[in-house]
């Protein structure tokens, strides 16, 4: 699995979407991870999802994470993947 977009649920409860590559020795390399946050409900009762920086003060796009901090890795929905790629590239897809 090289640089595929995945959604990860971490042991901390955080949910992130990222390009991901399996590293060596049980590590995962995250490329521009964004945290998925549920927002709302708004005045009409609808909830939404926002994508936020996962590391606000870090000065790197790639992060190495030990895989035992990950509960689940899944393929994102087509809409989530499109929104993630638009967020990291600045190009509307």
Tell me, what's the pLDDT at 1?
62
Q: Is pLDDT above 80 for 93?
A: no
pLDDT digits (tens, 9 = 90+) for 73-84: 999 999 999 999
Per residue in 17-52, pLDDT (tens digit) is 999 999 889 899 999 999 999 998 888 989 989 999
Tokens of 7: 């959604």
Q: What is the pLDDT of residue 90?
A: 85
Q: Residue 62's pLDDT is what? A: 92
pLDDT digits (tens, 9 = 90+) for 60-74: 889 999 999 999 999
Q: Which of 80, 66, 74 is nearest to 8 (CA)?
A: 74
């Amino acid at each position: 699995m090289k640089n595929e977009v995945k959604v990860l649920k971490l042991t901390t409860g955080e949910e992130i979407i990222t390009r991901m590559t399996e590293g060596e020795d049980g590590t995962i390399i995250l490329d521009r991870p964004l945290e998925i946050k549920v927002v709302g409900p708004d005045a009409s009762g609808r909830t939404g999802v926002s994508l936020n920086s996962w590391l606000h003060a870090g000065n790197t796009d790639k992060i190495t994470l030990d895989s035992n901090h990950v509960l689940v890795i899944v393929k994102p929905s087509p809409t989530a993947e499109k929104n993630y790629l638009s967020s990291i590239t600045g190009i509307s897809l």
